[in-house]
A and B are shown apart, each in its own frame.
Chain A
């Protein structure tokens, strides 16, 4: 890149970099990992998002293959991380549905599954 071009682009990059904490909260990764298989149902599901969350307006539910809730109901939010405890459950496919509000007032939602079993 030519030096003059670099000078021209620098202020733009500064704005983009400084605003990196303000955007829609999208799911970055989860534990159990999205679409993966675990041997037994874990004690909790944890989701990490791309932005910080508003605890009062963010929730996650986990249901088993029969559609029954297996989460404790109360999500714990800290920064960009949200967890919910799980009750006991057997093998099968579990559905995780999340709905969050990021600190910049954007709402977003999503879902994924993970498998439990050998």
Chain B
């Protein structure tokens, strides 16, 4: 018992030390604060860390499997507009049907290179481009990690509606974000060899690896924005920190689909994010859009740390360029 407490404390100490010694992305554009959303990458770059993100759902496999994931992501700005993030996920597959086998293991490591190409504070608009690389062979095949790399160039955007006219002031706290990525597997097909149990002959099973459109978005209503930029209704502080939102996270195979088909799978995720000064906490439901996407409503939750706010002069600043600071006082 004592040993387990000591281990737990060491783990906690390790978590605590990471921001101080050594971060994924919220973004501020003018009046607008874009939180880090749980499934759709937010449109900006920053020094951040998601630790942990945890989810649980029943897969669309036949027979279905209860999948639980725990993942972590660390994002570090190299310059003010360019960041590299590293992500890892550990998956637990638990059989629901006694005939299905369970498995545990890491998914492939993922690295994302992201560059903010445009930012308009006046219109609360931001756009970034990036490339994610899933490093094949770094995860366990027992949980579905592929043996080949997958490259996904992606466009990210975010738009706050703060520039709407006064007659639509109640809509100003709304923001939308989105991403469109094109996942390109490093191998066009995978062939698995085996022996026919009846004849003993050598068999070959070829599966084509499709190119997949990863697309989705969020719609958010920011209570902090309502209070600070539209109207202060005198609501309780706990309410003023909330951002209710709905995410849509979708995948559509679009090429090399001979064995995969072209059916779109994914989830619709209503939930809420509580935003603090240095961290945020989010929880969402995972609602599969069809039977192939899952068998029931799952859940995803995340603790997300703003490293640029926790340690602005250390890990929370770009490696090159430093924090932005005006050269002279503003003109009066």
Q: Is B169 an interface residue (CB 8 A)?
A: yes
Q: How far is the CA of A23 from the CA of B33 in the complex (A)?
A: 13
CB contacts (< 8 Å) of A93 on chain B: these are 166
Q: How far is the CA of A29 from the CA of B226 in the complex (A)?
A: 11
CB contacts (< 8 Å) of A35 on chain B: these are 169, 230-232
Q: How far is the CA of A20 from the CA of B277 in the complex (A)?
A: 7
B325:A110 contact, CB within 8 angstroms: no
Nearest opposing residue in chain B for A56, CB measure:
B329
Nearest opposing residue in chain B for A20, CB measure:
B277
Nearest opposing residue in chain A for B230, CB measure:
A35
Q: Is A79 an interface residue (CB 8 A)?
A: no
User: With A16-B279, A19-B311, A107-B324 in contact, is A7–B33 under 8 Å at CB?
Assistant: no
Q: How far is the CA of A99 from the CA of B332 in the complex (A)?
A: 12
Q: Is A8 an interface residue (CB 8 A)?
A: yes
CB contacts (< 8 Å) of B11 on chain A: these are 8
Nearest opposing residue in chain A for B279, CB measure:
A16
User: With A5-B8, A112-B229 in contact, is A15–B329 under 8 Å at CB?
Assistant: no
Residue from B9, B12, B16, B313 within 8 A of A104 (CB atoms): B313
User: With A33-B232, A35-B230 in contact, is A16–B12 under 8 Å at CB?
Assistant: no
> What total of chain A residues lie within 8 Å of the partner, measured CB to CB?
46
Interface pick from B128-136, B147-155, B302-310:
B302-310
Q: How far is the CA of A5 from the CA of B311 in the complex (A)?
A: 25
**A105 to nearest B CB, angstroms?**
4
Q: Mark B13-30, 1 if CB is under 8 A from A, else 0.
A: 101110110000000101
A107:B326 contact, CB within 8 angstroms: yes
Residue from A23, A36, A112 within 8 A of B228 (CB atoms): A112
Interface size class of B (residues with CB under 8 A): 35 or more
Q: Is A109 an interface residue (CB 8 A)?
A: yes
Residue from A8, A15, A33, A50 within 8 A of B277 (CB atoms): A50
Q: How far is the CA of A63 from the CA of B291 in the complex (A)?
A: 56
Nearest opposing residue in chain B for A55, CB measure:
B329
Residue from A11, A24, A36 within 8 A of B309 (CB atoms): A24
Most chain A beta-carbon neighbours within 10 Å: one of B5, B228, B234, B329: B228
A19:B121 contact, CB within 8 angstroms: no
Q: Mark A31-65, 1 if CB is under 8 A from B, else 0.
A: 00111100000000000001100001101000000
Q: How far is the CA of A112 from the CA of B309 in the complex (A)?
A: 24
User: With A7-B12, A8-B8 in contact, is A110–B329 under 8 Å at CB?
Assistant: no
Q: Mark A58-94, 1 if CB is under 8 A from B, else 0.
A: 0100000000000001100000000000000000010
- The 6 tightest CB contacts between A and B, nearest first, are A35-B231, A11-B16, A23-B309, A8-B12, A23-B277, A8-B8
23 contacts between A and B (CB under 8 A): A8-B15, A10-B12, A11-B15, A14-B16, A15-B20, A16-B305, A23-B309, A26-B224, A26-B228, A29-B227, A35-B169, A35-B231, A56-B329, A59-B332, A104-B313, A104-B323, A105-B312, A105-B313, A105-B323, A107-B326, A110-B229, A111-B229, A112-B230
B residues touching A (Cβ–Cβ < 8 Å)? 4-5, 8-9, 11-13, 15-17, 19-20, 28, 30-31, 33, 121, 166, 169, 224, 227-232, 234, 276-279, 305-306, 308-313, 323-326, 329-330, 332
